Amino acid sequence: MRRLFSILFFAGLTVGAVLLFRFTLQEALIDVDIEELARYNAPQSVSDTSKGQKLPLRADTEKTADQEPPQKIDTPTQETTPTFTQTKITDTKKEVNSPPPLTRPSLSATGALTVPGVVAVTNAERTAQGLSSLTLNTKLSNAAAAKLADMFAKQYFAHVGPDGTQPSYWVESAGYIYRLTGENLALGDFSGDTDLVTAWMNSPGHRANILKPEYTEIGVAVGKGMYDGRETWLAVQIFGKPLPNCSLPNKDTQALIATNQQTIKDRQAELTAQKEALDASEPKQGSAYKEKVDIYNALVAEYNTLIGETELLVSEYNVEVSGYNACIEG
């Protein structure tokens, strides 16, 4: 019995020792885990070996006003004053063809001259050459009649009057707006309308007027009266090509283009001066510098916009000019 009690006593001591050892080991492990966690969560520092200083693990990303980067400066679209090519308006040239007047010696037997007959024979000569017939125009006929009356009244036989009156004067006074005009004169005795036109056709200058393809209208005047002390015939042919009713290019657009071109030139000078000031400015940062850059960039935007608008105006104006020129030439 005593032996059994001893065995149980020693067995209890052994179990107790084992339990005490396990508890102590667990406490030690827990302490180690806590220390390790604390160490890994602690803020870390990196040594700057060159200066022997410690730097923070995360750099401060906040920037001060003095650390602002330089401001971007826009560049003008055009570095030099742009050139806008404008189409030239065709000159409404008023050509006057006046060959030397034709004089026919007096004939023993003469016939009469008529306006319808002269027009008919003239058109027959044109159609024989494959040209279109001329249309009798009242204003041109009035101009021819006025010229004929003036020659009889002032006793001259020439394209230019004694007072310097030009052939175009009679045409314009009659209200005929022309692109081209020409005048044929004849003085003397003729057997009839065919004889008169044939005489003109035998004269190179008069023939050129009669067969000029560009002419579309004609005016004629014939009359018998006293000239240089004897009774004789005078005949006047006036040819014409009327000026088409063409719309002139918009003058306001042309004026605006000129104004814009001057403004562009002025803005370019301002931009050059401001850019030079910015280049010389120090430091190239901060609020004052930024304000100057903003002003410069706003002027650049205005400059480039004006160039674009002017290019569009020039394009529109050139279309109008081209249309007008085509109309005039037509």
Range of the domain at 303: 251-329
Residue 18 in this model has a pLDDT that exceeds 60: no
The tens digit of pLDDT for each residue in 101-147 reads: 777 666 555 789 999 999 999 999 999 999 999 999 999 999 999 99
Residue 205 shares a structural domain with residue 225:
yes
Boundary residue ending a domain (199, 220, 242)? 242
Find the length of the chain. 330
Residue 163 shares a structural domain with residue 280:
no
Residue 185 shares a structural domain with residue 319:
no
Residue 185 shares a structural domain with residue 309:
no
**Helix/strand/coil for 161:** coil
Residue 330 in this model has a pLDDT that exceeds 70: no
**Number of domains present in the structure of the chain:** 2
Residue 205 shares a structural domain with residue 263:
no
Residue 176 located in a structural domain: yes
Indicate the range of 6-20, 23-37, 79-93, 175-189 predicted with least confidence.
Answer: 23-37
Residue 25 in this model has a pLDDT that exceeds 70: no
Residue 255 located in a structural domain: yes
Residue 5 in this model has a pLDDT that exceeds 70: no
Residues facing 103 on adjacent strands = 187
Residue 13 located in a structural domain: no
The tens digit of pLDDT for each residue in 157-183 reads: 999 999 999 999 999 999 998 888 999
Boundary residue ending a domain (242, 276, 309)? 242
Residue 130 shares a structural domain with residue 220:
yes
pTM reported for the whole predicted model = 0.55
Q: What is the pLDDT of residue 196?
A: 94
For position 103, which CATH number holds?
A: 3.40.33.10
Residue 287 shares a structural domain with residue 148:
no
Q: Which residue's entry shows tokens 């006293």?
A: 226
- The closest of 103, 96, 121 to 234, measured between CA atoms, is 103
Boundary residue ending a domain (186, 215, 242)? 242
The tens digit of pLDDT for each residue in 47-70 reads: 333 333 322 222 222 333 334 444
Residues facing 178 on adjacent strands = 242
The tens digit of pLDDT for each residue in 231-244 reads: 999 999 999 999 88
Percent of the chain residues past pLDDT 90, beyond the cut: 44
Average pLDDT of 200-222? 95
Residue 114 shares a structural domain with residue 208:
yes
Indicate the range of 48-57, 250-259, 279-288, 290-299 predicted with least confidence.
Answer: 48-57
**How far is CA 58 from its chain centroid?**
61
Residue 317 located in a structural domain: yes
